[in-house]
Amino acid sequence: MNKKLTAIVLLLLILSACQRAEYYVQQGISKLEKKDYHNCLKDFDRAILRDPKNATAYYCRGFTRDALKDYRGAVEDFNVAIKLNPKNKECYYHRGIAKANLQDYQGAIQDYDRAYELNLKDKKLYHNRGSAKIASKDFGGAIEDFSKAIELDPKDAVAYYSKGASKTALKDYREAVQDLDKAIELDPKYTTAYHTRAVAKSALKDSQGALEDFSKALELDPTYASAYNGRGFVKVLRSDIRGALDDFNKALELDHTYASAYNGRGVAKGELKDYQGALEDFTRAISIQPNNETAYLNRGIAKANLYDYRGAIQDFIKLTELNPNNADVYYNRGIFKYKLNYKKDACLDWEKAKAMGFAGVHKVIQKYCR
């Protein structure tokens, strides 16, 4: 009789604890809806203390931790929630978001896939999975996801933009422009859409269209350093060197660590035959990005223009370390070596360029290497 009574008492205590846990869960949810994250976190802690198998409490605490940018803690809570309730599609979805915030994009995609298998097929899943695929450089997969988002909502400007950006990354510039046109049609103040469309138009050699789009992006956001930088490069192509310098200067005023802007300003200075100023800018770009191939290439040319052929050769040696398959580098390094009367070494570089298919180098070899 005493054993039965003890069992009943224990059962009542467990039920009471579970009921108390549910009370704290509901209190926490109420605070969560008001974005009172710190206080709702305390309620979910109390709920879990009273009922360590309450899947909802772990799920809600994981959601709260994610909102507080405690992404590792969020993943830990979602792990427990999923163990307790493996069919909770929202749990997989939100764990995917937390993993993406930790830059675990493959893990995020796996969670989004599992949520999809559990019949979570709404726009938000396609958006987040598409974004994770972009971060993983699976641009084709991203296009598929954003296309599905558009099927669900044909007025989804962000999906059109992301699809266009993915196509730009794949160098499918004409198709990209069409998607970006649609994004801008749906949202005429979509700043990044103008910027990305400008990049695509520039690749299509539509410099006027690119110039207009970069300018529109800057009209919408005068602090957009990347738009100043992009417009600067377009102006270089259009021989508006002074205008390009103004844009690169503005980009660097907004972001003094912008390697591409130093590189662009160096190119503009080189066009004005300010080779020393160009060299300084390329050096600054390299100090920010030590493996910036374009900056080494440009600095090597600037050094050659200053008759520092040895310095130019050193930069081109670095280029061959970064990319041993660039025939143009071997060809130009051969020229610099020849200038220093290193004929044998120059001819070896030209032979490498020839083996890589560099057009016209055979005539140089015939003239200088026989």
Together in a domain, 244 and 207: no
pLDDT computed for residue 197 by the predictor? 98
- 369 lies in a domain? no
- 342 lies in a domain? no
Q: In CATH, what number is assigned to the domain containing residue 48?
A: 1.25.40.10
- 361 lies in a domain? no
User: Any residues with CB less than 8 A from the CB of 180 and at least 6 apart, and which?
Assistant: 160, 161, 164, 165, 193, 196, 197, 200
Which residues of the chain carry a pLDDT beneath 70? 1-19
pLDDT computed for residue 20 by the predictor? 74
Query: For residues 364 and 350, is the Cβ–Cβ distance under 8 A?
Result: yes
Domain C-terminal end among 297, 319, 339? 297
pLDDT computed for residue 28 by the predictor? 84
Query: For residues 21 and 57, is the Cβ–Cβ distance under 8 A?
Result: yes
pLDDT computed for residue 24 by the predictor? 82
- 303 lies in a domain? no
- 326 lies in a domain? no
pLDDT computed for residue 11 by the predictor? 32
Together in a domain, 64 and 17: yes
- 79 lies in a domain? yes
Give the number of domains in the chain: 3
pLDDT computed for residue 19 by the predictor? 59
Sequential DSSP letters for 68-85: TT-HHHHHHHHHHHHHH-
Together in a domain, 134 and 193: yes
Together in a domain, 230 and 275: yes
- 302 lies in a domain? no
- 185 lies in a domain? yes
Together in a domain, 182 and 203: yes
Angstrom distance (rounded) from CA 253 to CA 267: 18
Reference 96, options 119, 68, 127; nearest CA is 127
Tell me the residue range of the domain where 23 lies: 1-100
Together in a domain, 270 and 187: no
Together in a domain, 142 and 199: yes
Together in a domain, 61 and 147: no
Reference 52, options 81, 74, 72; nearest CA is 81
pLDDT computed for residue 7 by the predictor? 37
Together in a domain, 181 and 160: yes
pTM of the entire structure?
A: 0.88
Together in a domain, 184 and 132: yes
Domain C-terminal end among 276, 297, 318? 297
Together in a domain, 214 and 228: no
pLDDT computed for residue 344 by the predictor? 94
Together in a domain, 231 and 269: yes
Q: What is the pLDDT of residues 130-168, one digit of tens each?
A: 999 999 999 999 999 999 999 999 999 999 999 999 999
Domain C-terminal end among 242, 268, 297? 297
Reference 124, options 100, 94, 169, 102; nearest CA is 94
Angstrom distance (rounded) from CA 147 to CA 164: 11
User: Any residues with CB less than 8 A from the CB of 138 and at least 6 apart, and which?
Assistant: none
